[in-house]
Amino acid sequence: MTASIKFIATDMDGTLLCEKKQLPSDFYDVFNQLQQKNVLFAAASGRQYQSLVNTLHQKKV
């Protein structure tokens, strides 16, 4: 029997985000791949909800 990943949670500051508080350049590519495989993603943080929303909705420059 093979185990399948259903859910991934990650801390934001110091884990997912770099020192400049930015997402990795390939974050959205990986996120889309997770969605295609029906894997849920969650940001685990002590930050306020709106701060997480703003960070995760950053546009690539």
pTM for this one?
0.77
Confidence of residue 1 (pLDDT cuts 50, 70, 90): low
Contact partners, residue 39, CB within 8 Å, separation at least 6: 5, 6, 7, 8
Bridge-based pairing of strands 40-44 and 7-11 is: parallel
Residue with tokens 């930015």: 22
Q: What is the predicted pLDDT for the residue at 36?
A: 95
Tens-digit pLDDT profile for residues 8-61 = 999 999 899 988 888 999 999 999 999 999 999 999 999 999 999 999 886 554
